[in-house]
Amino acid sequence: MRKEDIPQVTEIDREAFPTLWPPANYQRELQNRLAHYIVACDEEERVEPPEPKAIPKKGFPGLVSRLRRFFGNELPSPGRQYIFGFTGFWMMTGEAHITNLAVWEKHRRQGIGESLLIALIDLATELDVRFITLEVRASNTAAQSLYSKYGFTQVGVRHGYYTDNREDGVLMSLEISPQPRFRQTSSG
Ligand SMILES: CC(C)(COP(=O)(O)OP(=O)(O)OC[C@H]1O[C@@H](n2cnc3c(N)ncnc32)[C@H](O)[C@@H]1OP(=O)(O)O)[C@@H](O)C(=O)NCCC(=O)NCCS
């Protein structure tokens, strides 16, 4: 994750998950070699530090191509770009476990969450995972509907999983078909 993305990602996280305790620590996630994060951003809109102040233009042409992956702070920064939302996962022995997926409330229902999930599935597939898993609150029908749309199915329930209100966590999973591997064969 690029360091300069952290303030905006943290704000989006706090808006989406206000009762999460302990709150996610994206500084620490930057150091986590198992973590992969993707942000959806507007390359043209610049944000002044420390908080996002600019309101992006309406519409998101070419959003998918502007989804930017970030794995570490290795990329040079052209400036702070306005971030609409983000997602992330941890790699764990052939499994990608989604840790977060969130979009600013004012930008929801415009296809951004879906674009992020597609980018995550693509990346996990490239990394050869067999399963993508996640927990989602039982009451969070919006997110469950998004995951179902992309083939995730409910595989279990963790009773009282969420510490703030003891709500159940629905465990969802998507199996990734192995990618065909091509190898050179000698003939004749
Ligand atoms: C879940 C979330 C990321 C969806 O992002 P989004 O950008 O609004 O979603 P999209 O516009 O891409 O919608 C894609 C699909 O998600 C589902 N969906 C999204 N919002 C929905 C809602 N309010 N009610 C029902 N379904 C909804 C639908 O299946 C939708 O497909 P459709 O447009 O064909 O009906 C967003 O609501 C969010 O940030 N929520 C708070 C954080 C959260 O709950 N994250 C999930 C943690 S597991």
**Between 131 and 46, where is the model more confident?**
131
Largest CA distance in the chain: 68
Position 140 in a domain: no
Q: How far is the CA of 156 from the centre of ligand 1 (A)?
A: 21
Percent of the chain with pLDDT over 90: 65
Position 186 in a domain: no
User: Which amino acid is present at 146?
Assistant: L
Position 149 in a domain: no
pLDDT at 63 over 70: no
Tell me the CA distances in angstroms from 109 to 106, 115, 142, 163, 176, one per residue in order: 9, 11, 10, 28, 26
Check if 40 has its Cβ closer than 6 Å to any atom of ligand 1: no
Q: How far is the CA of 180 from the centre of ligand 1 (A)?
A: 31
How far apart (Å, rounded) are the C-alpha atoms in residues 114 and 101?
10
Position 148 in a domain: no
Which of 145, 146, 148 is the best mutation target for the ligand 1 pocket, counting ligand atoms within 8 Å of the beta carbon and taking the most?
146
Percent of the chain with pLDDT over 70: 78
Phi, psi of 88 (to 5 degrees): -155, 160
* Residue 71, both tokens: 């794995």
The model's confidence at residue 43, banded by pLDDT at 50, 70 and 90, is: confident
**Residues 135, 159: contact at Cβ < 8 Å?**
no
Poorest-pLDDT segment among 53-62, 85-94, 134-143: 53-62
Check if 119 has its Cβ closer than 6 Å to any atom of ligand 1: no
CATH number at residue 37: 3.40.630.30
pLDDT at 8 over 60: yes
Q: Whole-prediction pTM value?
A: 0.85
The upper half-sphere exposure of residue 171, i.e. CA atoms within 13 Å in the direction of its Cβ, equals 9
Annotated active-site residue 147? The verdict is yes
**Residues 119, 64: contact at Cβ < 8 Å?**
yes
Position 183 in a domain: no
pLDDT of 5 = 92
Q: How far is the CA of 137 from the centre of ligand 1 (A)?
A: 13
Q: Is 23 helix (H, G, I), strand (E, B) or coil?
A: coil
Position 114 in a domain: yes
Phi, psi of 82 (to 5 degrees): -70, 130
| Domain count across the chain | 1
Position 39 in a domain: yes
pLDDT of 114 = 98
Which residues constitute the domain of residue 127?
3-133
Q: How far is the CA of 108 from the centre of ligand 1 (A)?
A: 7
Annotated active-site residue 135? The verdict is yes
Poorest-pLDDT segment among 51-60, 123-132, 142-151, 160-169: 51-60
pLDDT of 64 = 45
Position 159 in a domain: no
Order of strands, sheet of 35-46, starting from the edge strand that comes earlier in the sequence = 67-70, 35-46, 81-92, 95-103, 131-137, 169-175, 153-158
| pLDDT tens by residue, 69-123 | 543 333 434 457 899 999 999 999 899 999 999 999 999 999 999 999 999 999 9
Q: How far is the CA of 78 from the centre of ligand 1 (A)?
A: 30
Nearest-atom number in ligand 1 for the CA of 87 is 3
**Between 178 and 174, where is the model more confident?**
174
Check if 24 has its Cβ closer than 6 Å to any atom of ligand 1: no
**Residues 92, 130: contact at Cβ < 8 Å?**
no
Nearest-atom number in ligand 1 for the CA of 104 is 39
| pLDDT tens by residue, 141-151 | 999 999 999 99
Q: Which stretch of DSSP H or E encloses residue 15?
A: helix 6-16
Catalytic residue among 44, 135, 150, 162: 135
